[in-house]
Amino acid sequence: MNTGSGSMEAPSPRRWQRRKDERTGEIIEAALGLFCEKGFSATKLDDIARAAGVTKGTPYLYFDGKEAILKAVVRATLIDRLGEIEAECRDYRGSRTVLIRRLMLKWWDEVGSTELAGLCKLMVAEAANFPELARFYHDEVIVRSRALMRAVLLDGVREGEFRPMPDTDAVIDALQAPLLMNMIWQHSFARFDESATGSYTKQRLETTLDLVLAALTAAGTTRQGNPTT
């Protein structure tokens, strides 16, 4: 029963959940920028709250602490994108050479050339100081990305597109190392490197991909995986 015109309607559970999700997203977005700019250790929860436009105690309503916020940042950015790539690979029916090129350049466009690349540099810098966070990143990002690449490579070998590989891990290293190097470079020494423009960096990445994929391609196929005539 309505007790009067001055009564206030309680927010619906759906509206409350929507506002909670929005607030969480604001905190994650603010934390991402600060972590990449200042580093994990130098970023305080008060800094995150201020950047998100919330009171000092608000982050504690949604996260157990700064470590939990960083994990949420990684989940909302890198892990979500990795899941999309895994789904794409499951549905793919075509040349593994083309697929590897597509995946590597997609990761560069959506992660490596953006602010998100700072997370890679951050984890390398902070791994020794925060082993639990390092383990989380290792298991959820590194292990999964390498397993994905290993599956694509072995499919290519099985189908005769790639030559047999005595050491698949070494091939994964050769494919991923230039990408990781360029991601770290963008957030460290690129400011002193006049050639480190976005287009030129991507061109360098494509060049290294060409070299590795050419070495992998089995005799009798082109770089795109089509039989030679």
For each of the domains in the chain, give its residue range(s) and CATH number, in order of start: 12-63 (1.10.10.60), 70-216 (1.10.357)
The pTM assigned to this predicted structure is: 0.81
Mean pLDDT of the chain: 86
CB 43 within 8 A of CB 66: yes
88 phi/psi in degrees, rounded to 5: -60, -40
Local structure of 56: helix, strand or coil: coil
pLDDT band at 86 (very low <50, low <70, confident <90, very high): very high
CA distance 222 to 206: 17
The proportion of the chain whose per-residue pLDDT surpasses 90, expressed as a percent, equals 70
pLDDT band at 192 (very low <50, low <70, confident <90, very high): confident
* pLDDT tens sequence across 120-135: 999 999 999 999 999 9
Distances in Å between the alpha carbon of 107 and those of 79, 94, 159, 189, 222? 12, 19, 25, 21, 24
Rounded mean pLDDT of 214-222? 70
CB 104 within 8 A of CB 205: yes
Using the predicted structure, report yes or no on whether residue 190 has a pLDDT greater than 90.
no
Name residue 221's beta-bridge partners.
Answer: 227
pLDDT band at 9 (very low <50, low <70, confident <90, very high): low
pLDDT on residue 132: 96
Nearest to 85 by CA among 71, 70, 100: 100
* Sign, Cα dihedral of 29, 33, 34, 36: positive
